[in-house]
Amino acid sequence: MSIEQQNPVLRRPQLVVVDLDGTMVDSVPDLAYCVDVMRERLDMAPHGEAKVREWVGNGVERLVRRALVGTLNGEPDEELFNAAYPVFLELYRHNFSARSTVYPGVCDGLDFLVAQKFKRGCITNKAEAFTVPLLKDLDLYDYFDLIVSGDSLPKKKPHPLPLLHAAQHFHVAPEDSLLVGDSVSDVRAARAAGFQVVCTSYGYNHGEDIRISQPDAVIDSLAQLSDLIPDRS
């Protein structure tokens, strides 16, 4: 595995915040199951996991809208959406972690952050009702001192507010903070907030290579954070 960097060396941060879906957890199998059952209940053909994988990353409401029109952009009939969304939510309440898995190397990377005594947060666009149970079910919850979900604040990524909120919470300057994510939304949020940003090569970015968005580094595993971040001197 290799580390691709736009900058020669990352500055050692005081705060590291980590995205959830596509960065720590592959949640698409559960989301795809719920999308397809929802569509079947509405007498619509299922899409399958590969297609749903291209639509994840902006919260479940946006996912449902994409699933109804079958494209990344576009809007479904509002009456259809109002019928479909509660069905999806009810399905997902019972299937948010049944098929989801932690990516290889995630716990190694998080263990490194703990050992190095970084302040640690999880920032996701997933609603709190699903974020906290998912983190707990997959034994990731205790790694974090702060969890910011998609409905915790008035704005979510790519808006910088969640990142700036985390920096303020920990009394850390944005320039001393790092976001680890997987998508263009993460890069945009980090740039707007003044954070450094590292992205995974394997995440959810609507089928586009994350390198196009020019994060500070691209990694194949969170375990590589120990090679990327300077050790305490």
Annotated active-site positions, please? 19
- CA–CA distance, 163 with 155 (Å, rounded to integer): 10
What burial letters (b/e) apply to 146-173, b meaning 16+ CB within 10 Å? bbbbbebeeebbbbbbbbbbbbeebebe
Give residue 27's identity as a one-letter amino acid code.
Answer: S
* Structural contact between residues 180 and 18, judged by C-beta atoms closer than 8 angstroms: yes
Which residue do the tokens 């990731």 mark?
Answer: 140
